[in-house]
Amino acid sequence: MTALALWLLLVAGLDLVRSRLRFRLSSLVTAAAAGAVLSLLTAVAARPGGAGWAAWIIAAVGIAGWVMGSGVATALFAQVPTPGVPARITPALAAVGAYASFVAGLLALLLAGSAAGSASFITTGLARSGLGHLPAERVLLVAAALLVQISTANLIVRLLLDLVGVPASDNEKTLRGGRVLGPMERLVILGLGIGGSLTGAAIVVAAKSLLRFPELRVPRAGDPGYGGASDITEYFLVGSFASWLVALSSVAVIALSAG
């Protein structure tokens, strides 16, 4: 799981940096190439064995595909000019390619297990720090999961909303604060899940639904950028469930490492 944690840290770190940049194909290609190179350098440091190398190669291609696909899809869905992107590349195709790349890299390292390496220099460094009493692998996974919630998860949810035809940018004007609430609720669910309080996580989910219910009942068909009475409900349901699944999946991966 150490290799998976390191890869997720790379993905989340790249997503956090590029989320603040305007769309430029050259910058996107550079970021994708950097992600692939950093993945391979991390693999060298992790010293994988046998099938572990194959897993890291898939992960390197996966991070490049995720960066390119999600970047192009986000720009195309937002109708941002994308010079250099072939006309045959549709927003949906780019988004599906991004998801497939991410899942391929994730599964490759997850299935490789210990064969993907352990990066003993990192675990040794953690052991010498104030966190030495905690399992190094678990510390890395928790750090990766936290960073994923505030960067990569946002892209995963927004692309899904665009794919199902409920544009995130339009509906965010109606349910203001969604972009802030999403990462916050994921962090709370992750924290409660790691602490073993899944009941507490369920209460958070129920509380959000109750607080938003009055807004979902109010018709706003005349609002700018609003498509109809059902759009905002679909936005809330699809976005919320996708957000919760990302957080709960992170909890599950951390639980697997403990087992």
138 belongs to a structural domain = no
Same domain, 216 and 105: no
> Is residue 149 assigned to a domain?
no
Of 70, 15, 69, give the one whose Cα is nearest residue 183. Answer: 15
**Taking each helix axis from N to C terminus, what angle separates 2-18 and 152-163, rounded to the nearest 10 degrees?**
70
Q: Which amino acid makes up residue 136? A: A
Q: Which two tokens stand for residue 219?
A: 């018709």
* Confidence band for 65, pLDDT divided at 50, 70 and 90: very high
Specify if 141 maps to a domain: no
Given a cut of 50, whether residue 227 has pLDDT beyond it is no
Instruction: Clarify whether residues 53 and 117 are in a common domain.
Output: yes
* Rounded distance between C-alpha atoms, residue 145 and residue 162, angstroms: 24
Span 116-131, average pLDDT: 71
Same domain, 20 and 107: yes
Query: For residue 254, is it within any domain?
Result: yes
Range with the largest mean pLDDT of 154-163, 201-210, 227-236: 154-163
**Is 137 contained in some domain?**
no
What average pLDDT does this structure show over 15-23? 80
Q: Could you give the residue ranges of the DSSP H alpha helices within the chain?
A: 2-18, 25-46, 51-77, 91-112, 120-128, 136-150, 152-163, 168-171, 178-194, 198-217, 231-258
Q: Flag whether pLDDT at 56 surpasses 90.
A: yes
Angle between helical axes of 2-18 and 120-128 (0-180°, round to 10):
90
Confidence of residue 117 (pLDDT cuts 50, 70, 90): confident
Quick check: is 76 in a domain?
yes
Instruction: Output the pLDDT for position 1.
Output: 78
- Closest among 140, 181, 162, 158 to 15, alpha carbons compared: 158
Average pLDDT over residues 233-257: 84
138-168 pLDDT per residue, tens: 888 889 999 999 999 999 998 998 888 877 6
Structural domains in the chain (count): 2
Domain boundary among 107, 131, 155: 131
Find the domain containing 46 and state its range: 2-131
As a whole number of angstroms, the distance between CA 251 and CA 259 comes to 12
Q: Within 13 Å of residue 172, how many CA atoms lie on the same side as its CB?
A: 15
More confident residue, 88 or 134: 88
25 & 112 share domain: yes
pLDDT computed for residue 104 by the predictor: 96
Mean pLDDT of 22-48: 89
The tokens for 102 are: 């991410």
Distance CA 171, CA 215 (A): 12
Of 80, 76, 3, nearest to 41 (Cα)? 3
Give the model's pLDDT for residue 214.
56
- The secondary structure of 24-77 as a DSSP string is -HHHHHHHHHHHHHHHHHHHHHH---THHHHHHHHHHHHHHHHHHHHHHHHHHH
pLDDT at 10: 94
Res 224: pLDDT: 47
Do 15 and 104 belong to one domain?
yes
Instruction: For residue 229, name the pLDDT band (cuts at 50, 70, 90).
Output: very low
Confidence of residue 230 (pLDDT cuts 50, 70, 90): low
pLDDT above 60 for 240 = yes
pLDDT at 221 over 60: no
194 located within any domain? yes
Q: Specify whether 7 is located in the same domain as 111.
A: yes
Token representation of residue 189: 């669910």
In this structure, is residue 148 part of a structural domain?
no
